[in-house]
Amino acid sequence: MSQATATDTRVEATPVPGLFTRMCVEAFGTFVLVLGIVGTATFNFVNNAQIITVALAGGIALMAVIAGLGHISGGHFNPAVTFGLTLAGRSSWVDLAPYWVAQLVGAAACGALLLLIIPDSLAAAMSENGSKGAVLATTANGYGEHSPMMRLTQGQATFELPQAAIVEVLIAVVFVGVILAVTNVRAKVAYAPVVIGLTLAALHIISWPVTNTSFNPARSLASVVSPDAWEASGGFDQLWLFLVAPLVGAAIAALFARAFAPLPALTPADGWDEQPGTATYPADGETVPVTVEETEVVEETEVVADDDAQPVAEDTTIEEPAAADEAATDTDTATDTDDTKGEPEPPTRP
């Protein structure tokens, strides 16, 4: 006797994080990233103002938030990255403005927190008027008299606007370009967050003497959240460059990606797991259908009878699982038992 069973293929709906959830994740991730960079730079005098500590803190923080949160929001944490991914077709235009708002809010919250934890005694020691904002402003991006080179050379040399603009655009091109490259499904990079975090660290080391390294408008905003910091850093006369240049660099990187490595926008259903950090989600509230295949198990039982037609043993065999979409068939086979024992006699010639 033989019997077969089969189950039907089911289609389940996988929930997609809503826009508000993704905005909260972007705000928190940006907060952590800015804390690693600006928070370390605020108290970096204890490390003799070495840029390596800031670079490593920022790079490791970025690795952590991309690896831990990237599967929810895409892991941008930088308005320039969001802009570049959107232009490259790897993120939705609908998400652009909400992501920017979330990233700026997260960065501003980090700057406000740093103002709260700066000791009054440190502010009195580091600034003429004892302002905490003036201490935070030492982490601000700038050029000319606000360039780190001016302080390092005691006023003998500095980087002016043209050099600062070129450097900020260039490092944004490299950073966004690396993200677009390593998260491409053709790249097959084993762990993209590590590559991205190390790139951020390296670019900080390279460009720090020029502008104090931005390539992230949210990071630049965090250093000037208070009126005192805004005034001490030069205000919008300096800040505008660090809002515009990263976006220009991101746009250049996205155009190169579209020209030389075109890739359609992905959804969680057709490749999001292979492309971390660049999620393109459907409209808020939609679900993504996921096909769940089940296998069929065919069980055959053979009953062996003795001379009195009594069952004496059962042999059960289970065939290899078949695909769920194959039709299951039930077959019943009756086998006649020949009670005659021994070898049949050979036929005689007529």
Could you tell me if residue 51 is left (phi over 0), alpha (psi between -120 and 50 degrees) or otherwise beta? alpha
**Residue written as tokens 């900080």?**
204
Higher pLDDT: 134 or 314? It is: 134
**In whole numbers, what is the pLDDT of the chain averaged over residues?**
80
Lowest mean pLDDT among 133-147, 211-225, 294-308: 294-308
Question: In a 3-state reduction of DSSP, which class is residue 291?
Answer: strand
Higher pLDDT: 60 or 330? It is: 60
How does pLDDT run across 78-101, given as a tens digit for each residue? 999 999 999 999 999 999 999 999
Distance CA 167, CA 159 (A): 10
Task: Pick 18-274's CATH classification: 3.40.50.720, 1.10.3720.10, 3.90.245.10, 1.20.1080.10.
Answer: 1.20.1080.10
Domain boundaries, the chain: 1-16+294-344, 18-274
Distance CA 26, CA 33 (A): 10
Higher pLDDT: 272 or 78? It is: 78
Higher pLDDT: 187 or 205? It is: 205
Which residues 6+ apart lie within 8 Å of 286 measured at CB?
16
The share of the chain scoring above pLDDT 90, in percent, equals 53
For residue 174, the model assigns a pLDDT of: 97
Expressed in angstroms, the distance from the first to the final Cα of the chain is 41
Question: In a 3-state reduction of DSSP, which class is residue 261?
Answer: coil
Of the candidates 212, 209, 78, which has an alpha carbon nearest to the alpha carbon of residue 139?
212
Residue 263 — very low, low, confident or very high, per pLDDT cuts 50/70/90? Answer: low
For residue 305, the model assigns a pLDDT of: 54
Torsion of CA 174, 177, 178, 179, to 10 degrees: 130
Distance CA 81, CA 249 (A): 10
For residue 85, the model assigns a pLDDT of: 95
Residue 146 — very low, low, confident or very high, per pLDDT cuts 50/70/90? Answer: very high
Distance CA 51, CA 57 (A): 10
Distance CA 50, CA 46 (A): 9
For residue 289, the model assigns a pLDDT of: 53
Residue 131 — very low, low, confident or very high, per pLDDT cuts 50/70/90? Answer: confident
What's the predicted TM-score (pTM) here? Answer: 0.72
Which residues 6+ apart lie within 8 Å of 140 measured at CB?
146, 212, 220, 223, 224, 229, 232, 233, 234, 238
How does pLDDT run across 34-81, given as a tens digit for each residue? 999 999 999 988 888 889 999 999 999 999 999 999 999 999 999 999
**Residue written as tokens 């004892």?**
130
For residue 306, the model assigns a pLDDT of: 54
Distance CA 34, CA 11 (A): 42
For residue 326, the model assigns a pLDDT of: 47
DSSP 293-335: ---B-EEEEEEEE-TTS-EEEEEEEEPPPB-TTSPP-------
DSSP 31-77: HHHHIIIIIHHHTGGGGTT-HHHHHHHHHHHHHHHHHHHHHHH-S--
Distance CA 270, CA 254 (A): 21
Given a contact cutoff of 8 angstroms between Cβ atoms, the answer to whether 207 and 167 are in contact is yes
Does residue 254 register a pLDDT over 50?
yes
Distance CA 103, CA 107 (A): 6
Does residue 274 register a pLDDT over 50?
no
Residue 140 — very low, low, confident or very high, per pLDDT cuts 50/70/90? Answer: very high
Higher pLDDT: 264 or 142? It is: 142
Lowest mean pLDDT among 8-17, 122-131, 326-335: 326-335
Residue 196 — very low, low, confident or very high, per pLDDT cuts 50/70/90? Answer: very high
Does residue 164 register a pLDDT over 50?
yes
